[in-house]
Structure 1
Amino acid sequence: MNVAIIFNHPYEGSFCNAILGSVTTGLKKANHEIDLIHLDKEQFNPVMTANDLKGFRDKKAIDPKVLEYKGRIERADHLIFIFPIWWELMPAMTKGFVDKVIFPGIAYDYTNAGNTRMKPLWTKLKGVTMITTMNTPKFLYWGIFGYAIKKAMMLGTFWKIGYKNRKWITFNKVKQVSKEKREKWLAKIEDKFEMLDY
């Protein structure tokens, strides 16, 4: 299986980086092919410019990095996002990736004249997994913030486009839990991605 990972965290000592290591180890154990798109190291520009918006209207992306990512993701059977939750949503680079790469003519197209119904264009893609970290307790993130990232990414983006196999894995209270618990989480995530089957 070809797996594309969209990763966003600027600090190499972060728990997100540890998760990336476990995901990668698990995938390699199962002999999956991995394409890591590290938004920070690749210096992806998340800003949507006036020219980008014209491209949105015309269904023709103009950012060379976006066009590169299009080709890389078209080869993927599974897409994995790994990023932290900051102020209840994703960091700017991840949001910019969604704005500029989950784009008409790139990730989806419209199926009616009114542009109200969509179909996915990444036809090889069988599944999308989102892995997030946060310090907010899970019950607060659900009760007060209504699982904001799930609504934005899993429903408001990938469900709306038509990608059916969607999973969200969240790690909460990361700073508060023990080192032993974080190590158990990492071992579990490694096992999970060794068994990935779309």
Structure 2
Amino acid sequence: MLPRNVLLILASPADSFGAALADAYADSAEHAGHRVERLALDTLDFDPLLHHGYRREQALEADLQAARQALLRADHLVFVYPVWWGSVPALLKGFLDRLLLPGFAFRYRPGQAMPERLLGGRSAQLLVTMDSPPWYFRWVTGAPAIAQMKRATLEFCGIRPVAVACFGPLQDSTPARRERWLAEARALGAVLPPARR
């Protein structure tokens, strides 16, 4: 497989198991010859609120301008985040609200129900941590934090395929179990999926 440009977006706290998963994935991808750029959202300086919706332009801060360029360079995106109250962390939601704007990520067309998807040619991987058992999150709650990212956001913008790996329940997990999860993240980083146009 040809080397790919990977953008890893960490929306987990720096001292979390999610951050360890991100490191395992990124290190393995780099070892496989891919170029990895990392963004830790809690280190970026930006207002996560879209104050006027899409009615008025809200200038991108320097860190969001740099994130936009990193996304354009990437052909594989990795999002690492915890499930909080069934959804993604507020900081990740704010980052997506501010970055994936009309005209950049998608464009509505007159007379067409579905928009033009402007970020095609990229694939994505979600590394999702949770304190619930993954089966419970999927079958009882409907996995809203995954549906939101996979279908309603990334695929809406043309990014596919979007692979998902869930890790949980984290609470009371043993060191041996966590090591198996880290090995899974390393295996995912070693073999990236091809993007579809």
User: Pick from 78, 85, 94: which aligns with 1:80?
Assistant: 78
Give the distance between the partners of 2:193 and 2:178, measured in 1 at CA: 25
Aligned to 2:113: 116
- Alignment-mate amino acid for residue 19 of structure 1: L
SS in 2 for 1:135: coil
Aligned to 1:4: 7
Q: Is the 8 A contact 2:118 2:157 kept in 1?
A: no
Q: CA deviation at 1:52?
A: 6.3
- Alignment-mate amino acid for residue 66 of structure 1: L
Question: Structure 2 regions of 5+ residues with no counterpart?
Answer: none
**TM-score of the pair, normalised by structure 2:** 0.88
RMSD of aligned alpha carbons: 1.9
Q: 1:127 to 1:8 in 2, by over 3 A?
A: same
Q: What does 1:29-40 align with in structure 2 at a 5 Å threshold? A: 29-40=31-42
Aligned to 1:23: 25
Q: CA deviation at 1:103?
A: 1.4
Q: 1:170 to 1:121 in 2, by over 3 A?
A: same
Give the distance between the partners of 1:115 and 1:67, measured in 2 at CA: 30
Q: CA deviation at 1:53?
A: 4.4
Give the distance between the partners of 1:170 and 1:35, measured in 2 at CA: 22
Q: CA deviation at 1:43?
A: 3.2
What does the per-residue CA deviation read over 1:174-194, in whole Å, with 9 as the maximum and x for residues that have no partner?
122211110111012112211
Give the distance between the partners of 1:164 and 1:28, measured in 2 at CA: 22
Aligned to 2:179: 183
User: Pick from 99, 102, 111: which aligns with 1:101?
Assistant: 99
- Alignment-mate amino acid for residue 119 of structure 1: E
Q: CA deviation at 1:18?
A: 0.6
Q: Is the 8 A contact 1:8 1:39 kept in 2?
A: yes
Q: Is the 8 A contact 2:132 2:169 kept in 1?
A: yes
User: Pick from 169, 172, 182: which aligns with 2:165?
Assistant: 169
Q: CA deviation at 1:126?
A: 2.4
Identity of aligned residues (%): 25
Runs of 4+ in 1 over 6 A off after TM superposition: none
- Alignment-mate amino acid for residue 60 of structure 2: D
Give the distance between the partners of 1:186 and 1:121, measured in 2 at CA: 33
**TM-score of the pair, normalised by structure 1:** 0.87
Q: Is the 8 A contact 1:2 1:78 kept in 2?
A: yes
- Alignment-mate amino acid for residue 84 of structure 1: P
Aligned to 1:130: 126
Q: Is the 8 A contact 2:24 2:182 kept in 1?
A: yes
SS in 2 for 1:192: helix
